[in-house]
Amino acid sequence: MKKQINYVNSLSDEYKNVLKWYTSDNGYRNLNYALRKSNKKILNKEFKDNLDLIDNIFLRAPKLEKSIVVYRGLNLESHKDINFNTNSFISTTLDYETSFNFSGTTCCILKINISAGSKILPLKTIAQDVSHEEEILLDKYCKILATYINDKKGVTLIDCVYIPEDSIDIESIKDIKESNIELSNDKIIDSLLNILGDEIELYDTMEELQIQLEDIAEKMDYKLNKDILNKIKHKLNL
């Protein structure tokens, strides 16, 4: 994550100031509220300009070369109340204890595996008043998928996978879909791996890769089965 830290530290004063603004109560609360409601009309010019600046920061940010784990505390009645597709920026932390301070008595803490190829912004040097929180800001263009829910004791812990929206080459999917009407399992495997290309090396676990493969297969109108997944796992030695 050294590249991401250096990137944030090297930003211009204009960009650093907008990130400081975002970490204020007035910033993230109002901006994310508007984004969740999909109603930018309620934002004034300052908020719209700042949103554009933050989008530009993420656009230029280096991608993670390896996956990392972050945490997010939520004060809710039940994990059933969680909206995983908020369309807003997501504040997380590298420190589990910090996330615990933001959770309710029973729900919830998200343990999020940030997949390789994602863009993140470490804000420790930006939000100096709360640098101990080790905040990691996640982009709004993403998917967060729950993989396991443990609510047996204490605060509910939910394992999740974060996948950047731009990690799939949609045009490649369309080309393959149009050129192949019926494919054998082996040809489907070759098609899926061809789309991922060099990005395959960025996935550390089969769990991360499977989420990505299922997303691609859905867009191609293909249904993954255990035979396909086992062959891919064997082929990639995951």
Kindly give the confidence (pLDDT) of every residue in the chain, 238 residues in length, as a single tens digit, with 9 standing for 90 and above: 899 999 999 999 999 999 998 888 777 777 877 777 766 666 778 888 888 999 999 999 999 888 899 999 988 777 776 766 667 888 999 999 889 888 877 788 999 988 888 899 999 888 766 657 789 999 988 878 777 788 666 788 888 888 777 655 444 444 444 444 345 677 677 767 766 666 667 677 788 788 777 777 765 556 677 888 888 888 877 7
DSSP secondary structure, 146-187, as one string: EEEEE-SSSSEEEEEEEEEGGGS-HHHHHHHHHH-SS--HHH
**The predicted structure's pLDDT at residue 161:** 82
Asked if the bond preceding 107 is cis, omega within 30° of 0, the reply is: no
Secondary element (H or E) of residue 112: strand 107-114
pTM for this entry: 0.67
Instruction: Enter the DSSP assignment of 63.
Output: P
Q: For residues 57 and 212, what is the distance between their CA atoms, to the nearest angstrom?
A: 25
Residues 6+ positions from 34 with CB-CB distance below 8 Å: 40, 42, 43, 47
Looking at domain 2-164, does it have CATH number 3.10.180.10?
no
* DSSP type of residue 225: -
DSSP classification of residue 83:
-
Per-residue pLDDT at 107: 83
Query: Given this model, what pLDDT does residue 54 score?
Result: 92
pLDDT of residue 119: 92
Q: Residue 161: left if φ>0, alpha if ψ -120 to 50, beta else—which one? A: beta
| Dihedral sign of CA atoms 121, 139, 162, 81 in order | positive
Each domain of the chain, given as residue ranges in start order, spans 2-164, 168-236
Residue 19 has a pLDDT of 93
Strand-pair partners of 144: 162
User: pLDDT value at position 180?
Assistant: 42
Q: List the one residue out of 206, 215, 192, 216 whose CA is nearest residue 238.
A: 206
| Residue 40: predicted pLDDT | 62
User: Which residues face 150 on adjacent strands?
Assistant: 157
Query: Given the structure tokens 């054998």, which residue do they identify?
Result: 184
Give which of 148, 150, 163 is closest to 210, Cα–Cα: 163
Contacts of 133 (CB under 8 A, 6+ apart): 93, 95, 98, 127
Contact between 238 and 206 (Cβ < 8 Å):
yes
